[in-house]
Structure 1
Amino acid sequence: MRPAPRSTGSLRVAQVVSEVFGPAPLLTFALVQAGVGTAPHGVWTALLASLLIAVLPYAALILLARSGRVSGRFVSERRQRGPILACVLVSVLLGVSLLVWLGADAGLLAVGIAAIIGLLVVTAVNLVWKLSIHAAIAAFVAILQFGSLPVGLAAALLLVPLVVGWARVREGAHTTAQVVAGFGAGGAVFLAYLPILAALQG
């Protein structure tokens, strides 16, 4: 077990970064971004689905952490992650099913399916090793920006996962190797997302 990090200004910054650029905010952003401009109610569809895919799982983790049933809202204890991630997967599956039922646009549905794939990947890895979910989602969402924003701006946003990775290491939540593995997982999910998007677009 790694020693608890010393409480300093940099630690507080790291904690803020982990919250602001955590899995729930970034997934919600990616879903809403995919829903923008799609007819007839893309943003509202994305927000509704994000409740099941991102918001409710995170809210449940907060409640479990406050009751002492899990080791913090980001579940730092690897042995607790399997059952928690399985429950999150059920919620995400319901969210994606909602997208299908509502006739969501291909781009929005592809992001939802990518969330399922990503969750399956990190769940499988976390059964034996503590991969950084923060890093995986940050990397996926950052790479996703190359399809929506000018190349220069999208490239600049690649700094976000790097800062997130620093924050997770600074907090003592992960090793550098676990963060780098998270980046790799996020990149792999993006590669899976591309053919899914192409297939849905027909």
Structure 2
Amino acid sequence: MQLTEQSFAAQKIRRLALVVSHVLTPVTLATLLLLSAPLRHDQVSWPEALIAAAFTTIIPWLVLVVAKMRGKVTDLHVTQRHQRHWLYALTAGSILGGLLLLWLLDAGGAIFREVLAILLGLLVVSVINLWWKVSVHLSVGTYVALQASDSIGSLMPVVVAGIAILSWARIRSGQHTASQVCGGVLVGVAIHYASNLLGVFLD
């Protein structure tokens, strides 16, 4: 009886971890970051933010949904590492298309910086995933949280808590090991600082 209760409790915890993973997906977090750009940067307009989000996250996500329906990927998180490469390439192409459109519209440097940072993160994760499975959830989640905290410094405790919760969710749901989660956090931190460096040239 005790073993059954423990097993039931473990299943409930895993379901909760999966819910957190589904809510805090990379596409959701990155889309919210880009759409909130006008609130964080005075020089970014709402149309520019919408274009950036459409080409950076929304279009690739729609392609992913179609791929899932056709059986080209096993799940929307693309947990099978070998299924990610073509999707990364397509996403990079879509982002470059969005950057071209933003350039034609003479968009400000701030939105270019955020999109370029996401593209850089995509490239870094793609290279790492050739040999090792790093957590994309934590890469994006950490980057988004740190970018948001730049605008509101008092958010840092929330940032730390959010990263901790997402790390717990990815481990307890069985999607990643602790080392893969830590690797994702490190990538997110590195891309955040790279984004700040880009700001020296673009803002």
**TM (normalized to structure 2)?**
0.88
Classify 1:83/1:158 alpha carbon distance in 2 versus 1 (closer, same or farther; 3 Å). same
Aligned ranges for residues 58-97 of structure 1 at < 5 Å? 58-97=61-100
Query: 1:19: Cα distance to partner?
Result: 2.2
Residue ranges of structure 2 left out of the alignment (5+ in a row): 1-6
Equivalent residue for 2:42?
38
Equivalent residue for 2:3?
none
Q: Does 1:193 align with 2:195?
A: yes
Query: 1:9: Cα distance to partner?
Result: 2.4
User: Distance between the aligned counterparts of 1:163 and 1:54, measured in 2?
Assistant: 23
Classify 1:96/1:161 alpha carbon distance in 2 versus 1 (closer, same or farther; 3 Å). farther
Query: 1:162: Cα distance to partner?
Result: 1.8
Question: Is this contact kept in 2: 1:75–1:81, CA < 8 A?
Answer: yes
User: Distance between the aligned counterparts of 1:183 and 1:21, measured in 2?
Assistant: 15
Query: 1:104: Cα distance to partner?
Result: 2.2
Root-mean-square deviation (Å): 2.0
Give CA-to-partner distance per residue, 1:131-165, whole Å, 9 cap, x none. Answer: 1111000000111123211x232332222122112
Classify 1:69/1:160 alpha carbon distance in 2 versus 1 (closer, same or farther; 3 Å). same
Classify 1:99/1:38 alpha carbon distance in 2 versus 1 (closer, same or farther; 3 Å). farther
| Counterpart secondary structure, 1:189 | helix
Aligned ranges for residues 94-133 of structure 1 at < 5 Å? 94-133=97-136
Equivalent residue for 1:135?
138
Query: 1:13: Cα distance to partner?
Result: 2.1
Question: Is this contact kept in 2: 1:165–1:179, CA < 8 A?
Answer: yes
Residue ranges of structure 1 left out of the alignment (5+ in a row): none
Give CA-to-partner distance per residue, 1:104-137, whole Å, 9 cap, x none. Answer: 2222211001011000000000011111111000
Give the % identical residues: 31
* Aligned partner (choices 156, 159, 164) of residue 154 of structure 1: 156
Question: Is this contact kept in 2: 1:143–1:158, CA < 8 A?
Answer: no
Query: 1:10: Cα distance to partner?
Result: 2.1
Q: How many residues align?
A: 195
Instruction: State which structure, 1 or 2, has the greater radius of gyration over its C-alpha atoms.
Output: 2
User: Distance between the aligned counterparts of 1:27 and 1:103, measured in 2?
Assistant: 22
The aligned amino acid for 2:186 is G
Question: Is this contact kept in 2: 1:38–1:105, CA < 8 A?
Answer: no
Q: Which moved more, 1:156-165 or 1:71-80?
A: 156-165
Equivalent residue for 2:4?
none
Question: Is this contact kept in 2: 1:76–1:173, CA < 8 A?
Answer: yes
The aligned amino acid for 1:174 is H
The aligned amino acid for 1:189 is I
Equivalent residue for 1:163?
165
